[in-house]
Amino acid sequence: MPINPYMRRGRIYPSNSVSYFLTCWTYKSWSTLIGVLASIIVLAGFHIGWDIPIIVRNGLIFYPILFGVVFFYTMTNYLFAAFHDPGVIPRPNADETLHTEKENNIQTDLAGNYFPSRPPSKTILVRNNPHTSPYCYTCRTYRSPRVVHCSVCNVCVENFDHHCPWINNCVGLLNYRYFSNFVLFCSILCFVGFVGCVLAAFYRWDIYKYQGGLFFAYNIPNFLTGLIAILFGFTLFPFWYYHCGLAMNGVTTKETV
């Protein structure tokens, strides 16, 4: 069951996200996540029930094994990307906040508004290199290098890449690899599924080649599934390739836009 108030390792998160079992983290809007899960499961289930039996009957025993393995890794990485803590920076408690603001001469009025309106940044050393550390008004703490505040989840995230509505979570330091793996395996799943649809159509042609009406009737669902698969495959694979380039250069999406 969710922790309320939102906590992780003893720190309070008055944010738009929720932590489960002190490790799993996700934004509180569930509709998109459920929609993505349902779409993958329904399309894969339809392919398993409609196309794979005729493929197996024609001797390609390895195909359902391949499809099952790729489907398993797709779903596993999706769930890890969606529910894993992306690298949320714990907010300081009241005493720590008071100490930080007093130490850096940050003042607030009775309504809690800062004055001056923008608290001063401070310079910190990172590997002996100076870095300007801005103050986060919401989390009430200075942000370290590559920490960005997500306006959707309302938290600061380490190595913030972007907030992904499809996984219902931020993509950051701790779940980036799961997100990248999900995009890769999902694109592979789409390509494998498309090949399966083509094979199933080919085998049905052998059966119904003299009954064109039945051939098209049996393959309309197959054509639709294959079309969806190939479109998503050619969309997701370049996206994964793009993130590979970012990872190799040691930068994030946020830092390149």
Active site residues: 164
In angstroms, rounded to a whole number, what is the distance separating the alpha carbons of residues 25 and 79?
A: 11
SS3 label, residue 257: coil
In angstroms, rounded to a whole number, what is the distance separating the alpha carbons of residues 25 and 87?
A: 9
CA angle centred on 173, ends 11 and 245, rounded to 5°: 165
Give 241's contacts (C-beta < 8 A, 6+ positions apart).
Answer: none
Q: Which helix (H) or strand (E) holds 115?
A: strand 114-115
| C-alpha 137 chain-centroid distance | 26
Tokens of 191: 């390509």
SS3 label, residue 161: coil
CB 243 within 8 A of CB 221: no
In angstroms, rounded to a whole number, what is the distance separating the alpha carbons of residues 125 and 149?
A: 21
In angstroms, rounded to a whole number, what is the distance separating the alpha carbons of residues 132 and 137?
A: 16
CB 29 within 8 A of CB 35: no
